[in-house]
C-alpha cells in the first residue's frame, strides 16, 4: 500500500471575510494550493470537502463548488464530509483512504466555513446541532454553555483553575501574533484574560470571553499524493499515524471530564507511530475553549487527571517549553471556521515540519501531533506527522 503524504497547501486569513460565501473562499485559495504543490488541476483524482454548514448558508451540496473555481476539475469526483468541529479531519482521512486504497494518486482536501454573516444567537443554535439535541439543545449560550458546565464540573472536582485557563488563553493569543492567518492577532496578556470585565465578561459558567474561540470565516486546502508521486514533488509530509476514536454523543452517558475518546485516540496514535510524547516537537490541539485544551493535556498524557493546570503553570506548553502546544495560536487566536479547522490544523503542522512556518517556527521541529475533535470529545482525530522530503 502506498501511503498518502501532504505535498502542498494554502490557507486563507481567518476572521470576518470580505468573500460572501464558501464558494468564494475556496476559489481564492485553490490556485495557490495547486501551485504550492507543483501540480495542475488536471492531475487531481479526487476532491474531499469539509463544510459543516448546518444553516450557515442556503447553499448545500458544497463538494460540487470546488470545480467552479477551475474547469479542469469539472469531472473530478467530489464529496462533502461533515463531522461537527472535526469535519476537516474527516475529509482529510477520507482523502487518505481514497489514495491508500489505490483509487487515486492525488487528492484535494478542502475545508471551509462562512459563519460571521449569521447573527450570533443563530450561530449558537446551529452549533448546538452538534450536541445531543434531545438533552442538550436548551443549554444557554450554545456550546459555550456545554463547556461552561464542563469547566464547572472540573472546578468542583479539582479546584478553581480560572487562572490556568487564563494562562492558556494568554499563551495562545501571544502565539497568534506570529500567525499571518490568525483572526485575532492581539496579545491580551494574562491579567486581562484572568480578570472578568466589561470587555471580558463571563459567557457561560466560569468561562470568560477570552476562554472561548472565535466565530470565523475561512478556508484551507491540503494537497495529498501517494508516495511514488510525492517523490517527484518539492516536499512531502508523512503520517506516522492517524487515528479516529469516537465516544457517546450525550454528555449524560459519560464522565465529561475523562475525554476518554481523546485519550484513546492519542494512545493509539502514539502506539501506531512507535513514539512517546517525548518524541514530539509540538502539538496543534483543539482549543475551542481553554478548558478543552487543559483537558487535552490530560488526554494526551502530559498530566494525570485533574492535573492539567500544572502543565501550563510550569511552562511546558509555551513556545519555550518542552512541548509547545498551539504555536499557531490555536482556535483561540487563529479562529474556528468549523469545516476549515481540521484542515487548518494539519496545514499549520505541515508548515512547521517543512520549515515554512515563518515567525511561528518551533526550532528544529521534526515530528508534530495534531488533535481535532467534533462535539465535546465525541469524534476524536489524532495525527502524528513527520517530514520525509
Active site residues: 85, 336
Handedness of CA 37, 40, 42, 48 (dihedral sign): positive
| Residue 83 per-residue DSSP state | B
Distance of CA 145 to the CA centre of its chain: 20
Q: What are phi and psi of 100, to 5 degrees?
A: -75, -15
Vertex 86, ends 296 and 342: CA angle to 5°? 85
Q: What are phi and psi of 74, to 5 degrees?
A: -50, -45
Yes or no: say if 49 and 16 are a contact pair by the CB < 8 Å rule: no
Residue 197: count other Cβ atoms within 10 Å of its Cβ. Answer: 10
SS3 292: helix
Q: Among candidates 382, 353, 345, which has minimal Cα distance to 11?
A: 345
**Bridge pairing between strands 282-284 and 237-246:** unpaired
Residue with cell 509530509: 237
Bridge partners (DSSP) of residue 238 are 5, 386
Yes or no: say if 76 and 47 are a contact pair by the CB < 8 Å rule: yes
Vertex 380, ends 376 and 384: CA angle to 5°? 140
Separation between Cα atoms, residue 126 and residue 56, nearest integer Å? 8
Residue with cell 510550569: 314
Report residue 56 as a C-alpha cell. Answer: 450557515
Q: Among candidates 62, 93, 343, 359, which has minimal Cα distance to 218?
A: 343
Amino acid at each position: 500500500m502506498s501511503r498518502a503524504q501532504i505535498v502542498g497547501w494554502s490557507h486563507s486569513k481567518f476572521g470576518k471575510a470580505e468573500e460572501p460565501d464558501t464558494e468564494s473562499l475556496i476559489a481564492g485559495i485553490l490556485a495557490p494550493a495547486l501551485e504550492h504543490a507543483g501540480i495542475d488541476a488536471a492531475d487531481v483524482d479526487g476532491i474531499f470537502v469539509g463544510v459543516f454548514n448546518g444553516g450557515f448558508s442556503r447553499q448545500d451540496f458544497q463538494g460540487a463548488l470546488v470545480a467552479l473555481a477551475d474547469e479542469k476539475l469539472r469531472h473530478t469526483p467530489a464529496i462533502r464530509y461533515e463531522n461537527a468541529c472535526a469535519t476537516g479531519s474527516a475529509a482529510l482521512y477520507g482523502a487518505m483512504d481514497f489514495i491508500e486504497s489505490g483509487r487515486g494518486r492525488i487528492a484535494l482536501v478542502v475545508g471551509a466555513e462562512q459563519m460571521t454573516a449569521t447573527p450570533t444567537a443563530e450561530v449558537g443554535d446551529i452549533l448546538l446541532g452538534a450536541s445531543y439535541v434531545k438533552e442538550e439543545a436548551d443549554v444557554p449560550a450554545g456550546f459555550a454553555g456545554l463547556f461552561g458546565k464542563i469547566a464547572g464540573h472540573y472546578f468542583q472536582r479539582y479546584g478553581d483553575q480560572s487562572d490556568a485557563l487564563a494562562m492558556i488563553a494568554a499563551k495562545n493569543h501571544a502565539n497568534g501574533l506570529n500567525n499571518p492567518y490568525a483572526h485575532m492577532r492581539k496579545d491580551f496578556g494574562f491579567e486581562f484574560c484572568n480578570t472578568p470585565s466589561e470587555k471580558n465578561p463571563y459567557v457561560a459558567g466560569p468561562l470568560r470571553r477570552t476562554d472561548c474561540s472565535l466565530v470565523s470565516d475561512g478556508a484551507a486546502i491540503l494537497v495529498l499524493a501517494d508516495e511514488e508521486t510525492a517523490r517527484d514533488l518539492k516536499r512531502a509530509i508523512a503520517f506516522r499515524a492517524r487515528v479516529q476514536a469516537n465516544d457517546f454523543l450525550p454528555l449524560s452517558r459519560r464522565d465529561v471530564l475523562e475525554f476518554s475518546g481523546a485519550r484513546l485516540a492519542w494512545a493509539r496514535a502514539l502506539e501506531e507511530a512507535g513514539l512517546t510524547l517525548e518524541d514530539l516537537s509540538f502539538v496543534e490541539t483543539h482549543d475551542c475553549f481553554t478548558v478543552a485544551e487543559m483537558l487535552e493535556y490530560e488526554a494526551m498524557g502530559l498530566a494525570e487527571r485533574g492535573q492539567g493546570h500544572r502543565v501550563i503553570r510550569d511552562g511546558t506548553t509555551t513556545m519555550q517549553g518542552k512541548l509547545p502546544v498551539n504555536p499557531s495560536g490555536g482556535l483561540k487566536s487563529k479562529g474556528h471556521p468549523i469545516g476549515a479547522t481540521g484542515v487548518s490544523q494539519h496545514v499549520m503542522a505541515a508548515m512547521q515540519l517543512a520549515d515554512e512556518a515563518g515567525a511561528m517556527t518551533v526550532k528544529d521541529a521534526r515530528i508534530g501531533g495534531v488533535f481535532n475533535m467534533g462535539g465535546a470529545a465525541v469524534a476524536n482525530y489524532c495525527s502524528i506527522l513527520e517530514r520525509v522530503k
